[in-house]
Structure 1
Amino acid sequence: MPRRNQNKNRFLECIREEMPAYISSHIIDVVNVIGDGHCGYRVIGLALEMGDNWLQVRKDLIEEINANEFLYNNMFRSSRRSELLLSLDCSSIPAPLDKWMTMPDMRLIIASRYNVAVVHYSKFQFFTFLPLHSAPTLNRKTIFIGFVNDNHFIRLLMSEDCPLPPVVSMWMRYHASVAEG
């Protein structure tokens, strides 16, 4: 077996060991991205077929927060909303720690901006995030994102029959009625 395949298989096994046991066998593959503080945004860009356009993802999320100011002020308090906007405003490489993607706040914003389901897995947290203000569709894309090593996001490619974690409670409280279904 070529060395590259051995390294990839070893990496995949390490990721499976770091994920919750109930989903480990459902991980088909992993897409690792550059770990420069923009990794979460890189994962989203790749999953949405935007390429490695992490900067556009940041700009889109700023637009989402500003376009739905009332909603996000209610969800986060206006001070937290301002913190999120400041954390998104970054084009430096590497990104400083205060500019890294945060969980769960950004996942609801991502789901809402792009009308996708975002499934987040880490060793200790696993949730599904749905759009807050758009109607469900039959062909809604699901983005699986993993958080590993306590500092890095990766894209997870999952089997079709993988179990989904519960929907985050914040969605239950703040979603518009059109988003139900």
Structure 2
Amino acid sequence: MLASRRLFHQFLVDSFSTIESDRLRYMRDHQKDLRAAMYKGLTEAIVSGDCVANVTGKRIVLPASFVGGARYMIQNYQDAMTICSWAAYPDYADTSTGITAASMYRQNTGAGIGKKRARKAVAKGGSSNISQINHIPDFMHSYVESITDVKSDGNCGYRVIALGHTNNEDDYDFIKKSMLDELQLHKQDYLKIYGGGERLSYIRNALLPAKRKARRHGVALIDKWLTFPDMGHIVASILGKVVVKLTKHGASETFFPLRGVPSSNPSSLIICLGAIPGHYVHVNLKDGCPIPPTSIQWKQHCSTEAIVWESYFVDRQANFTKLMKDHMVHHKKDVRAGSKSCYPIDL
């Protein structure tokens, strides 16, 4: 049957049509029952005075397997981004069923590997050639020494941290275990930061080994990914280093250790993560470059002796704030003048 080619395709289509016809026939033959259940709830809502549609009815959570649902679409988008990180972004989309997977693989393997190597190459000086740099603030491009990509398996955030700390991204399991130990040893401190045990339990479960099987292509489940700002405090505290998150998609922040004092030269103790949609990359910053403002949560919950950390970076953070304001003013002027830039406006 599998060797029947087009006849096999026709068999699949006919089988799907048969199943779909059975579903439609059931709905046609049970209209009375279906409508009774539907109109009963609506009638009761109207009688009780609930006439606003968005607050009437029962919430139904669709599983990720439901075709066309929100979770289904998000899951497929993430799968597509993982494939693109391996084989580069497509030049065009072809939905024709006449092209087999094997032929597409043969045509794109060579180009895909070449593009993957190009993305991982270290670019110095001309940092605009790095595709990932477009996801960090424009005014920081000249301060980027290099960008290093890591494996897109859902552990990319932990891999970036391991790469910046031990120069080996495969040490990410050690990073996650150290983060778990930090949560256990200083549980009361993090309960205050997270505002209760519910968020603390979520962060803890995210660091524990997965009980369920990983998603397709070996990518970790979403609830296991590195998250900011919650985990930024943990990483900075276990490593005794400054953790910087740079991104255009949200707030860029700096995280200092919650306890302890810095060494004689804390300016060299920086790990920078570039946050792009669904992925993290390691950003190697130039010495003395601007860094984002400090996380508000750190200022509220750091120990007395740890306050000195921020004093070493005040000038660099002030420079970042100034560059950001100048960029926003310049961008607004371009918009008023009718800029032809294709980038969205950052609000």
Give your verdict on TM over 0.5. yes
Q: 1:154 to 1:12 in 2, by over 3 A?
A: farther
Q: How many residues are treated as equivalent by the alignment? A: 178
Matches within 5 A, 1:74-153: 74-76=192-194, 77-90=196-209, 93-123=218-248, 124-140=250-266, 141-148=269-276, 150-153=277-280
Aligned-partner SS, 1:180: helix
Maintained 8 Å contact 2:128/2:141? no
Q: For residue 43 of structure 1, what is the aligned residue in structure 2?
A: 160
Offset from partner CA, 1:65-96 (integer Å, 9 cap, x none): 11000000111111111110000112664211
One-letter amino acid matched to 1:39: C
Question: Cα offset for 1:177?
Answer: 0.2
One-letter amino acid matched to 2:298: W
Question: Cα offset for 1:14?
Answer: 1.9
What's the TM-score once normalised by structure 1's chain length? 0.91
C-alpha separation between the residues in 2 aligned to 1:132 and 1:104? Answer: 13
Offset from partner CA, 1:143-173 (integer Å, 9 cap, x none): 011111x110110011113211111110000
C-alpha separation between the residues in 2 aligned to 1:179 and 1:168? Answer: 14
Aligned-partner SS, 1:154: strand
Offset from partner CA, 1:26-48 (integer Å, 9 cap, x none): 11111100000000001111111
Aligned-partner SS, 1:47: helix
C-alpha separation between the residues in 2 aligned to 1:6 and 1:178? Answer: 45
Q: For residue 303 of structure 2, what is the aligned residue in structure 1?
A: 176
What runs of 5+ residues in structure 2 fail to find an aligned partner? 1-113, 309-347
C-alpha separation between the residues in 1 aligned to 2:228 and 2:289? Answer: 22
Question: Cα offset for 1:180?
Answer: 1.5
Q: Which has the larger radius of gyration?
A: 2
Question: Cα offset for 1:13?
Answer: 2.9
One-letter amino acid matched to 2:281: I
Q: For residue 64 of structure 1, what is the aligned residue in structure 2?
A: 182
Aligned-partner SS, 2:166: coil
Maintained 8 Å contact 1:136/1:180? no
One-letter amino acid matched to 2:305: V
What's the TM-score once normalised by structure 2's chain length? 0.49
Flag the structure with higher helix content.
2
What runs of 5+ residues in structure 1 fail to find an aligned partner? none
Aligned-partner SS, 1:147: strand
C-alpha separation between the residues in 1 aligned to 2:234 and 2:255? Answer: 9
Maintained 8 Å contact 2:152/2:279? yes
Question: Cα offset for 1:135?
Answer: 1.1
Q: Which deviates further from its counterpart, 54-63 or 16-25?
A: 16-25
Q: Which deviates further from its counterpart, 123-132 or 136-145?
A: 136-145
One-letter amino acid matched to 1:19: I
Q: For residue 27 of structure 1, what is the aligned residue in structure 2?
A: 144
C-alpha separation between the residues in 1 aligned to 2:178 and 2:167? Answer: 12
Maintained 8 Å contact 2:254/2:295? yes
Flag the structure with higher strand content.
1
| Aligned-residue identity in percent | 27
Maintained 8 Å contact 1:27/1:156? yes
One-letter amino acid matched to 2:271: I
Question: Cα offset for 1:50?
Answer: 5.8
Match of 1:53 among 143, 167, 171: 171
CA-based RMSD of the aligned residues comes to 2.0
